[in-house]
Amino acid sequence: MYGRGVSLKPIVQSPKYDCAQFTDVPCLESAVVYDEEAGQLTIFAVNRDLTETLEVEADLRQFAGYRVVEHLALTHADPKARNTASEPFNVTPHAESGTALRDGRLHARLPQLSWNVIRLKKA
């Protein structure tokens, strides 16, 4: 069922970079959706850094009893890579390991130039 989740407003501290059009662009962009009825929390996170993995720590103490279900990342070594008719699976999501919730704090590594989904569920 769609529309059940509530969008939460994350407070983000992130490294920043400058480009031709903008200054102080955060490397991390994120959105969080909480579905209380299903007991699920989903974090969508983008690492815009061209070369570095981003270490993320999130304070989730208000979600006691939750556990990490999965962390999927969409990334490729070539930033211009794309899927084509001849290579339909060139860029695909894959599972990331090492994402953990310890003492109410989520620890995750976001690969460079990646789009990530981290799902947590109430145990």
Domain of 114, CATH number, reads 2.60.40.1180
The verdict on residue 49 lying in a domain is: yes
The tally of domains found in the chain comes to 1
Output the pLDDT for position 7: 81
Average pLDDT over residues 99-120: 97
pTM of the model: 0.89
Residue 12 identity: V
Band (pLDDT 50/70/90 cuts) for residue 3 is low
The verdict on residue 51 lying in a domain is: yes
The verdict on residue 37 lying in a domain is: yes
Average pLDDT over residues 98-110: 96
The verdict on residue 1 lying in a domain is: no
Beta strand spans in the chain (E): 6-8, 16-17, 25-26, 28-35, 40-47, 54-59, 66-74, 93-95, 100-102, 105-110, 114-122
Nearest to 44 by CA among 61, 29, 60: 29
Band (pLDDT 50/70/90 cuts) for residue 4 is confident
Range of the domain at 95: 6-122
Alpha carbon distance 3, 63 (integer Å): 21
pLDDT tens-digit readout, 42-91: 999 999 999 999 999 999 999 999 999 999 999 999 999 999 999 999 99
The verdict on residue 72 lying in a domain is: yes
